[in-house]
Chain A
């Protein structure tokens, strides 16, 4: 069953990420894909994540397809103007890529080509509208397409942003613009997430909770201090500390697995999106411990 059908059937879905490598050596990525095959409903392919130049997400999505997994093409507005974005979307469509996640994208100042000129010709909300138009056989200028696309489109939201209200307003705009599903920024506080879901449930969209695996107490502190919109609660930091160096990663995997179980058992959201950041090979372990394999 396709990712779209699975999500719409009400089954609890699981996605993870594949980060395209920087360079043409794709052996590790291939190995990860083999490992993840059959265990996920779809795989996100990041688009020059953190504005660091890597293999393009479109090419890697095609590799993902060839490896028997279903890709979600992440598309940011940072590096392409509206002509290039639409052209890539048409390209993705003919390559058999059916899911697209529309995002604005981290600013170039975060990446490894700081002197680049960022584009941002359009932005996430507008990109969602563009995908809608392409699905309806029209380009952004209203020209007819010879053959429409049929994308299932997603967007992102940061449920722990401060201040929150403008983010919620933007969430609503994304729904209006045609988002079918959302993947959230990493969440760690399930009770707080429930509050967000109470808001999100007013809208006819599916929401997948974003989960980032903790590797150490230090990483938790780093996320709190430097990554906007992520808040690791003190009890989790304490749990990581108590585990000590040797057990830290194992404990991190357990925490993620525990959260997945709770999110699923209490039917809090429609699925999870696991961001293992360089530890894609640990995803099967997490799924096993969460009782999903």
Chain B
């Protein structure tokens, strides 16, 4: 899921100063799990705006903010309230915010959150970064643990000299990714994989903006994997 944090509220209110009426859009997926775009968060935002003497013309928590098509259909139902608002505040991730930009090309749209990373929720509203979407996954070689994300240097060939009693040079609070990889591969009897020199990463797979990924691309992938079999 996509991890979001609330922007500093007083700074956000300052950004919104020039507008008088707002429509609020949340998201029932990631932003709800993060507590940044659920109904409660939207209500709180509405209160804060009202306290500044602003009006809130309406609000919605769409099913999936980054699903532009579906969100467009959901927003249609609230057309009047949306038309009445000077600006839209989107309380999801940056992708959801840009859905609204796409659906409402003539209206001001502002994000209420900062989008941090792709993470796993390990306990209630505690998130761990596990994948940085590098486009060229190597965890088949690294015991299923991602060094690109979990090692601050993104090392592909073993620990740096900075690892200290199994912890990372950068912070005593995180375990060295390469010590974790080593321990796991040792347990699985797969240490041979750690002996293999991994080549420099192909960062071209990561460089954005990406081309559209279409149904045809997915079908192509299926075909390739069938051919291999």
Mark A residues whose CB is within 8 Å of B.
78, 82, 104, 106-107, 109-110, 118, 120-126, 129, 140, 156-158, 161-163, 165-167, 169-170, 172-173, 176-177, 185, 228-229
Contact = CB atoms under 8 A, between A and B. Distances in A.
A183 to B, nearest CB: 11
6 contacts: A104-B160, A126-B157, A158-B161, A166-B194, A169-B158, A229-B162
B195 A169 contact: yes
A95 to B, nearest CB: 26
A172 B155 CA distance: 16
Contact of A123 (B153, B179, B194): B153
Most chain A CB within 10 A, of B152, B158, B169, is at B158
Interface residues of B, number: 29
Given A125-B197, A126-B200, A118 B182 contact: no
A82 B163 contact: no
A176 B194 CA distance: 13
Contacts of A121: 200-201, 203
B197 A176 contact: yes
Given A162-B166, A228-B169, A156 B197 contact: no
A177 B191 CA distance: 19
Contact of A118 (B153, B159, B163): B153
B179 A163 contact: yes
A229 B169 CA distance: 11
Given A122-B200, A125-B197, A161 B182 contact: no
A174 to B, nearest CB: 9
A156 B161 contact: yes
Contacts of B201: 121-122
Contacts of B195: 169, 172-173
Dominant secondary structure of chain B at its interface with chain A: loop
A166 B158 CA distance: 7
A185 B161 contact: yes
A165 B182 contact: yes
A173 B162 contact: no
Q: Which of A104, A123, A177 has the most CB of B within 10 A?
A: A123
Nearest to A125: B157
B197 A228 contact: no
B126 interface: no
B139 to A, nearest CB: 17
B180 to A, nearest CB: 10
A209 to B, nearest CB: 15
Contacts of A185: 161
Nearest to B167: A228
Of A122, A166, A172, chain B has the most CB atoms within 10 Å of the CB of A166
B161 A161 contact: yes
Interface string B160-175: 1111111001110000
Nearest to A184: B161
B156 interface: yes
B163 to A, nearest CB: 6
Interface string B178-211: 1100100000000100110101110100000000
Q: Which of B152, B154, B160, B194 has the most C-beta atoms of chain A within 10 angstroms of its own C-beta?
A: B160
User: Which residue among B152, B161, B182 has the maximum number of chain A CB atoms within 10 Å of its CB?
Assistant: B161
A169 B164 CA distance: 17
Contacts of A140: 200
Nearest to A129: B197
Contacts of A126: 156-157, 197, 199-200
A173 B197 contact: yes
A173 B154 contact: no
Given A125-B197, A140-B200, A110 B159 contact: no
A219 to B, nearest CB: 18
Given A104-B153, A107-B169, A165-B182, A173 B158 contact: yes
Contacts of A124: 157, 160
Given A106-B169, A124-B160, A173-B197, 9 more contacts: A106-B162, A109-B170, A110-B169, A125-B157, A161-B161, A162-B166, A163-B166, A165-B182, A167-B158
Contacts of B165: 162
